[in-house]
Amino acid sequence: MKSTTILSSLLFTLASASPIARASSEIDVTGFTAQTNPNGDGASISFTVTIPTTSISSTPCTYADVTSSNHLPDVPMTTCADSSLRFQFRQDPTQPGAGEGRYRLVVVYTPGSGSEGLAGYQEWDASDFVTEEDVTYEGAPDFTLTAA
């Protein structure tokens, strides 16, 4: 419930900044990868976004650092290759008795000139991120975000 409140708060804040449509279009993600580097010297997250009813088609979104060690970092709102697209990635805190927190990707599209924007998210159980020597996402690389 707490993670739903956090997500709702984030999307409410973004909606206040610009109009966000609810389910008027879909946000498709392809080629999603997330992993830490095997030597514990960084992490990377990458994927492409297509929004069928807009000019957004196979737009890359990436994050990389050299400071993360054995866990995927929380990534603040980060601009994609097209500045009208931004994303955020994080893992919810572990709750007593509930196991590891869920991972979440949020994508926000805010076109210029007063056009209505879109927002969507994807959530995963921690079990979709395998931890051995490093952390690697092993779920489906292609999915449609849930409209927010």
How do residues 83-137 score in pLDDT, each as one tens digit? Answer: 999 999 999 988 777 778 999 999 999 998 767 889 999 999 999 998 877 889 9
Please give the residue range of the domain that contains residue 7.
2-147
Question: How many domains, the chain?
Answer: 1
pTM (predicted TM-score):
0.81
Burial 56-90 (b: 16+ CB within 10 A, else e): beebebebeeeebeeebbebeeeebebebbbbbbb
In the chain, what percentage of residues exceed pLDDT 90?
56
Average pLDDT over residues 48-71: 92
